Amino acid sequence: MIKCPKCKTENPSEMKFCGNCGTKMKQADVVCSKCKTKNKAGSKFCGNCGNKL
């Protein structure tokens, strides 16, 4: 879950716009389940260990 920067409503992480006010959401980093490295939102593979995200 990510919080809208404008209205503070909790939204699912995959949402691109807030379901309450329509504000564009900042996509959260994706954390690798194998090595715990933070990767940019939308990454398909970990930049540190190559694990599929």
pLDDT tens for 16-49 read: 899 999 999 987 788 999 999 999 888 999 999 9
**pLDDT score at 7:** 97
Q: Report the number of secondary-structure helices (H) and strands (E) in the chain.
A: 0, 4
Q: Output b/e per residue, 23-40; b: 16+ Cβ within 10 A.
A: eebeeeebebeeeeeebe
- Residue spans per domain, the chain: 1-40
Check if the beta carbon of residue 26 is closer than 8 Å to that of residue 5. Answer: yes
* Residue 28: both structure tokens together: 């959260």
| Separation of alpha carbons 10 and 4, rounded Å | 6
